[in-house]
Structure 1
Amino acid sequence: MCTGKCSRCIAFTLYPLVLISIICNIVLFFPDGDVKYAADGNITEEVKYMGGLIGGGLMVLLPALYIHLTGTKGCCGNRCGMFLSIAFAAVGVLGGLYSLIVAALGLQNGPYCKVVGLTWMTPFKNNDQYLTEDTLWGLCLEPENIVSFNTGLFATLLATSCLEVILCGIQMVNGLFGCLCGTCINKEPL
């Protein structure tokens, strides 16, 4: 496969992952579909880090656009373009890793919620078994179903950021091949 076609394929795969990351991060700001929790500051701390919006979103979108432009003609334009795609893909790897770390912390610490006694806290912060024992989820009284809400969205962010890191890593290798070995040239019959 030509390195340009591979770049284009990677970019087209990154676009939906970027969209999913951004949407998941925005939705995390509105537990139970209500804006009052974000307005009052009663949302999970890891949501405020915006790993899906900044890391898995913008920091991967810019490299995806450049990687797409690198392979627009079906074959890469030049070696310099492939070299620059390595640098852009490295930015994508960093963004994906940031999103991955924030999502992993969000899953590890659990949600910020109102518990018995009507205090807001992170009740599962020191309990790494809450993910497997759904009977503990009843500790969170408000927002309703916050544990499953956070778990589902942070797990989705974790999966998409893993894929983004892998794809940007593949583009780094692809860019290296395109830079060292040259680009493929379509030969027209005489």
Structure 2
Amino acid sequence: MCTGKCARCVGLSLLPLSLVCIVANALLLVPNGETGWTGHLSLHVWLMAGFLGGGLMVLCTGISAVRAGGKGCCGAGCCGNRCRMLRSVFSSAFGVFGAIYCLSVSGAGLRIGPQCLTNRTWEYPFENLAGTYLVNDTLWSWCLKPPRVVPWNVTLFSLLVAASSLELVLCGVQLVNATLGVFCGDCRKKEGASH
């Protein structure tokens, strides 16, 4: 597969993943679909890893990769798309950092668990359990308010972990692909000349 087609495929895969991260982070701001708990959200929700890292930073990478897969920067591809591929190298590195940020914050959010009301105190009741609460849903009843906050956080942070892991792989692939595109150009120019 030539570098241009690969860039386009990677970019088109990154776009929906980044939107999934943005939506998941937005939902984390409203536990159980209620807006009255914003004063008691966990730190990991406020770090906006899904919105900033897995969302906007990776969205920029996806758009750059789709553009790098287009026609060359001088019209009909006279430079073999090297200019766009060079921009995609930097954008892909940016996306790798965004995906790592989202993955690390979301993973920590899963391990520590949500902030919730337990026995008249707002705290992180699962903080010292090293994530074992994830497989023992009887512990989830420790959280009295917000209602159903534990399954809400577990589902959305798990989604962010999965999406950012895929983003990390795809951004890494595009980083290598774009680097090859800078040095080798886009083989579609040669394909077009042979027809």
Scaled by the length of structure 2, the TM-score of the pair is 0.91
Match of 2:122 in 1: 120
Distance in structure 2 (CA, Å) of the matches to 1:73 and 1:10: 16
Distance in structure 1 (CA, Å) of the matches to 2:128 and 2:66: 43
**Between the two proteins, what is the percent identity of the paired residues?**
45
Conserved? CA contact 1:113–1:121, under 8 Å: yes
The structure in which a higher percent of residues are helix is 2
User: Is 2:180 the partner of 1:177?
Assistant: yes
Match of 1:25 in 2: 25
The residue matched to 1:183 in structure 2 has which SS? coil
Match of 2:52 in 1: 54
Q: CA RMSD in A?
A: 1.5
Match of 1:155 in 2: 158
1:44 to partner: Cα distance: 1.4
1:188 to partner: Cα distance: 4.6
Structure 1 stretch displaced more, 72-81 or 58-67: 72-81
Structure 1 stretch displaced more, 43-52 or 75-84: 75-84
Distance in structure 2 (CA, Å) of the matches to 1:84 and 1:69: 10
Structure 1 stretch displaced more, 77-86 or 156-165: 77-86
- Name the count of aligned residue pairs: 186
- Which ranges of structure 2 fall in alignment gaps of 5 or more residues? none
The residue matched to 1:114 in structure 2 has which SS? strand
Of residues 36, 41, 64, the one that matches 1:43 is 41
1:73 to partner: Cα distance: 3.2
The residue matched to 1:126 in structure 2 has which SS? helix
Distance in structure 1 (CA, Å) of the matches to 2:168 and 2:96: 5
Match of 1:104 in 2: 107
Match of 1:130 in 2: 133
User: Is 2:67 the partner of 1:66?
Assistant: no
Match of 1:95 in 2: 98
Distance in structure 1 (CA, Å) of the matches to 2:104 and 2:68: 29
Structure 1 stretch displaced more, 150-159 or 125-134: 125-134
1:130 to partner: Cα distance: 0.7
Conserved? CA contact 1:70–1:81, under 8 Å: yes
Conserved? CA contact 1:70–1:82, under 8 Å: yes
Distance in structure 2 (CA, Å) of the matches to 1:141 and 1:80: 56
The residue matched to 2:90 in structure 1 has which SS? helix
Deviation track 1:135-160 (CA, whole Å, cap 9, x = no partner) reads 11110011111111100000000000
Distance in structure 2 (CA, Å) of the matches to 1:77 and 1:69: 13
Distance in structure 2 (CA, Å) of the matches to 1:65 and 1:81: 11
Of residues 84, 87, 92, the one that matches 1:81 is 84
Match of 2:6 in 1: 6
Deviation track 1:11-64 (CA, whole Å, cap 9, x = no partner) reads 1100110110000000000002111101xx111110000000000011111121
Distance in structure 2 (CA, Å) of the matches to 1:93 and 1:66: 13
